[in-house]
Amino acid sequence: MNKKTIKDIDVAGKKCLVRVDFNVPIVDGVITDLNRIEGAIPTIKYLSDKGAKVILCSHMGRPKGEFNMKYSLRPVAVKLAEMLGKPVTFATDVIGQDAQAKVAACKNGEIVLLENLRFHNEEEKNDKGFCEALSKFCEIYVNDAFGTAHRAHASTAGIVQYGFAKVAVAGFLIGRELDIMGGALENPKRPFVAILGGAKVSDKIGVINNLLEKVDTLIIGGAMAYTFFAAEGRKVGNSLCEPDKFGLAKELIEKAKAKGVKFLLPADNVCSDKFDANANTQIVHGEIPDGWQGLDIGPETCRLYAEAVKNAGTVIWNGPMGVFEMEKFAQGTKAVAKALAESGAITIIGGGDSAAAVTQLGYADKMTHISTGGGASLEFLEGIELPGVACLNDKE
């Protein structure tokens, strides 16, 4: 990574405004997934140990620009203090009197968490005045929120873009995300295999295009596969597919051929007579008959895909192989997760549904890297520059 990190600067005694990703699920006041808080801890600890005044800020959920206690970050402050084993002062507003007083009182090594940034519409609008107000808490800006690095909001990019924060560096989490994913894209251990699934080809055109330049094998699963099938004139029954993308699907298959990339589509599918957890199912090889829809990859495909992963050097995976929310159609996603866990390859899970599946199945510690950003990792894999990274100071 050619961006400066917190290790490249002196932070002692400085007010460090740290954009973290504390967008965690909270059910009845209880945080049900601590991953994102855990991900931010190395940066927070480092800054605090080095004697910085650590001012944390994040968004959570979609409070639509209003103070709404349902989206308060207070439970996160309590949990973070418990996880760090040191106090975390919570400010009940973002740029108001309470935040100003608590930041002013913050001593070296102490930690303050501001209230939810999205209680202000100005955050997502990247409002200049809001950036300026935030910058009062900021001698050094640190971005460690990979999950929102693809957004140009006030706290993720604007505060630097408008010139309010001159010293702007990456935290350890962003550093790790970029090093591992960037390393895989630029200098992969081969064979390099990408597995893409999910509902729509249209959401992943950019990623497929960019990965076709780099991988040895591209594996397709999920409903996306049926657009490729249908584009080649094969019957797909009632399967989800995007007829307006047939031309593009053909082009991508041609591009794979021209580049010598192995392009794998399912050999068999778990087909169902309706979109229902208790529907009748059958395994269908090849064309899918009328009245049936493909909702998961079949057992032979699971074996073929596992085989392709087995001897890979690097594997990147994004998107489920079927309707994994229903047990009957979760076998393909489970099989791919297991194959990755058992392979000796560098394994990178690109956030979102695939990250959730790997974690639920208990394979998380078997993966090299599980990205904390679904949208951000997709844009990164697409080769798009992330505004939250682009704005940071370059290494000299």
The residues binding ligand AMP (CB under 6 A) are 198-200, 203, 222-223, 240, 294-295, 319-320, 322-323, 325, 353
Residue 190 Cβ vs ligand AMP, minimum distance, rounded to whole Å: 26
Question: Is 36 a known active-site residue?
Answer: yes
13 versus 243: smaller Cβ distance to ligand AMP: 243
Catalytic member of 158, 221, 352, 388 = 352
Please provide residue 294's backbone torsions phi and psi, each rounded to the nearest 5 degrees: -80, 125
Residue 200 Cβ vs ligand AMP, minimum distance, rounded to whole Å: 6
59 versus 204: smaller Cβ distance to ligand AMP: 204
Cα angle 353-358-363, degrees, rounded to a multiple of 5: 170
What is the DSSP secondary-structure string of 307-328?
HHHHT-SEEEEES-SS-TTSGG
Catalytic member of 14, 36, 151, 334 = 36
Backbone φ/ψ region at 319: left (φ over 0), alpha (ψ -120 to 50), beta = left
56 versus 236: smaller Cβ distance to ligand AMP: 236
Catalytic member of 136, 200, 259, 338 = 200
Contacts of 84 (CB under 8 A, 6+ apart): 41, 44, 45, 48, 111
Asked if the peptide bond before residue 191 counts as cis, ω within 30 degrees of 0, the response is yes
Query: Which residue lies nearest ligand AMP, judged by its C-beta?
Result: 198
Question: Is 375 a known active-site residue?
Answer: yes
Question: Is 237 a known active-site residue?
Answer: no
8 versus 203: smaller Cβ distance to ligand AMP: 203
Q: Is 9 in contact with 141 (CB distance < 8 Å)?
A: no
Residue 384 Cβ vs ligand AMP, minimum distance, rounded to whole Å: 17
Residue 265 Cβ vs ligand AMP, minimum distance, rounded to whole Å: 12
Residue 318 Cβ vs ligand AMP, minimum distance, rounded to whole Å: 7
203 versus 254: smaller Cβ distance to ligand AMP: 203
Query: What does the alpha-carbon distance between residue 276 and residue 284 come to, in Å, rounded to a whole number?
Result: 18
Q: Is 378 in contact with 358 (CB distance < 8 Å)?
A: no
Query: What does the alpha-carbon distance between residue 310 and residue 292 come to, in Å, rounded to a whole number?
Result: 32
Question: Is 129 a known active-site residue?
Answer: no
Q: Is 239 in contact with 293 (CB distance < 8 Å)?
A: yes
Instruction: Give catalytic residues, as residue numbers.
Output: 36, 200, 352, 375
